[in-house]
Amino acid sequence: MSEEKKDDKLMEKIVSFAKRRGFVFGSSEIYGGFAAVYDFGPYGTELAKNIREAWWKAMVQENDNIVGLDSSIFMHPKVWEASGHVGGFSDPLSECKQCHSRVRVDHLLEDAGVFADEKMTEEEINILLVENKEKLRCPKCGSSDFSESKNFNLLVQSNLGNFTGDWDKEPTYLRGETCQGIYINFKNVMDSTRVKVPFGIAQVGKAFRNEITARQFIFRKREFEQMEMQMFVHPDDAMEMYEQWREKRWQYYLDLGIKEENLKWHEHENLVFYAKAAWDIEYKFPFGFKELEGVHARGDYDLTQHAKHSGKKLEYRNPQTNEVFVPHVVETSVGVDRTFLAVLTDSYVEEDLGEGKSRTVLKLPVNLAPVKVAVFPLMKNKPELVAKAREVFDELKMQYMCEFDDNGNVGKRYRRQDEIGTPYCVTIDFNTLETGIVTVRNRDTMEQENVNLENLQKYLADKLK
């Protein structure tokens, strides 16, 4: 259980801020909403895109032995039998007898300080449920009266290609994790590229799970996005590679600007039988430290299972030694949505400016900021200022996501840009028309600098590197 105090106020603030400023909307709101499904608004779409790009750069661009993949959401149903998801991918759920809401029993137990996880058997969970009855509270109504816990499969089913009335007897699945698409393309990637073990395959894409959620916003969604990398290594090198990736992934979050005190490692106490090691990087969300990313040493389980179920060899022949072996897998797996929430939480600041003034500012690193530069004419009713500002804007937008704003006074425009995390605001005033000098204002220091228009591109390129 996390020993940290929950910060419900901060959570409420972030949820309402995310909606008000166009980062995250609840899905289907005009129809009353749709539980645990969310949409990214205009600024959220930019932030999510920048998060994907930062991950892709750190994985595929910066490592010459990692290649990308974009496999389909639908796969042959046998994939999910081979992976073990049809038989064993489930959450322990119980019903509150008072308000009839469904609850995750492992989460209830954890919140009461009792170790439990979704890998336990129904019997083990039910023993804990009875033993700790008095400590457990329904998050909705506070009752301690729960039905017996049952395991419910998390895979989302589809009738794709099956037009019979009882399609659910042989369903297709929306993928529950993206990495299965990587395993089943292991041979294709090897045969079509010059990769040599150790090599990795990286992929970003949607995944779907029947989650029961307890007001954790985009932390636990039914439709979410994963960024997964599977490194295929010689069995003897697997644990060394694993340690290297633990270090790299920790450093990645620091490079992303996440405060180190808000990160910690958590070792899985209850490993699945095939795993050699599993650690999570946890982030201090407003509801406590929770999993952000998993780094797993999965042994040869995945390739062996798919080889067995498909009848195809999934092996590697070392071209120098001719040794043939089934590579072991080191996996790094993180959600776009969880990174998004971690980044929002980490960068959301309410600053007291003295004299009764304050501002909300998103102190995002420049590579993640949805808008990099905002351009303002000092006054909107002076056509010559507006025309010059448009000219500057039209030039800058070819390089960066930019925003043109002539609404309200400049102070209000700064506040609006601070809230969405825009690192630089450029103001065109009468002096610009005479001397070519613009004012560039820094989001974090709020200091203003005079920059000649001739040097503006270079100035911004240096700052936005």
**CA torsion, ordered 301, 304, 305, 308, to nearest 10 deg:** -160
Site string for ligand GAP, 59-78 (x = CB under 6 A): --------------------
Residue entry with tokens 């729960």: 146
Query: Judged by CB under 6 A, does residue 224 bind ligand GAP?
Result: yes
Site string for ligand GAP, 290-329 (x = CB under 6 A): -xxxx-----------------------------------
Q: Structure tokens of 104?
A: 């995750």
Of 334, 396, 402, 425, the one binding ligand GAP by CB under 6 A: 334
Of 106, 211, 346, 406, the one binding ligand GAP by CB under 6 A: 211
Name the minimum Å distance from CB 386 to ligand GAP.
44
Name the minimum Å distance from CB 221 to ligand GAP.
4
Cα separation of 252 and 37, whole Å? 28
Identify the H or E element spanning 464.
none
Q: Among the candidate windows 192-200, 219-227, 305-313, 321-329, which touches ligand GAP by CB under 6 A?
A: 219-227
Query: Judged by CB under 6 A, does residue 377 bind ligand GAP?
Result: no
Q: Structure tokens of 204?
A: 């970003």
Query: Judged by CB under 6 A, does residue 337 bind ligand GAP?
Result: yes
Residues recorded for the chain: 465
Cβ contact 360:17 at 8 Å: yes
Beta carbon nearer to ligand GAP, 329 or 386: 329
Amino acid at residue number 190: M
Name the minimum Å distance from CB 119 to ligand GAP.
11
Beta carbon nearer to ligand GAP, 211 or 406: 211
Exposure string for 247-281, b = 16+ CB within 10 A, e = fewer: eebbebbeebbbeeebbeebebeeeeeeebbbbbb
Name the minimum Å distance from CB 161 to ligand GAP.
25
Cβ contact 20:34 at 8 Å: no
Of 85, 104, 175, 338, the one binding ligand GAP by CB under 6 A: 338
Name the minimum Å distance from CB 335 to ligand GAP.
3
SS3 content of the chain, % helix, strand, coil (to 5): 35, 30, 35
Name the minimum Å distance from CB 351 to ligand GAP.
30
Q: Structure tokens of 235?
A: 């069995």
- Considering only residues 400 to 459 of the shown chain, the ones binding ligand GAP according to CB under 6 A are none
Site string for ligand GAP, 225-254 (x = CB under 6 A): -x-x--------------------------
Beta carbon nearer to ligand GAP, 24 or 334: 334
CA nearest to 245, candidates 229, 257, 259: 229
Name the minimum Å distance from CB 305 to ligand GAP.
14
Of 85, 107, 220, 328, the one binding ligand GAP by CB under 6 A: 220
Cα separation of 437 and 453, whole Å? 6
Cβ contact 320:197 at 8 Å: no
Query: Nearest 5 degrees, angle CA 396-CA 402-CA 407?
Result: 115
| Residue 349 per-residue DSSP state | E
- Considering only residues 172 to 201 of the shown chain, the ones binding ligand GAP according to CB under 6 A are 177, 179
Of 44, 335, 421, 423, the one binding ligand GAP by CB under 6 A: 335
Cβ contact 187:317 at 8 Å: no
- Considering only residues 256 to 295 of the shown chain, the ones binding ligand GAP according to CB under 6 A are 291-294
Name the minimum Å distance from CB 227 to ligand GAP.
8
**Rg (alpha carbons) of the chain, rounded to whole number:** 25
Sheet holding 373-377, edge to edge: 402-404, 373-377, 424-428, 437-442, 448-452
Beta carbon nearer to ligand GAP, 98 or 213: 213
Q: Site for ligand GAP (CB under 6 A): how many residues?
A: 19
Q: Which residues bind ligand GAP (CB under 6 A)?
A: 177, 179, 209, 211, 220-221, 224, 226, 228, 291-294, 331, 333-335, 337-338
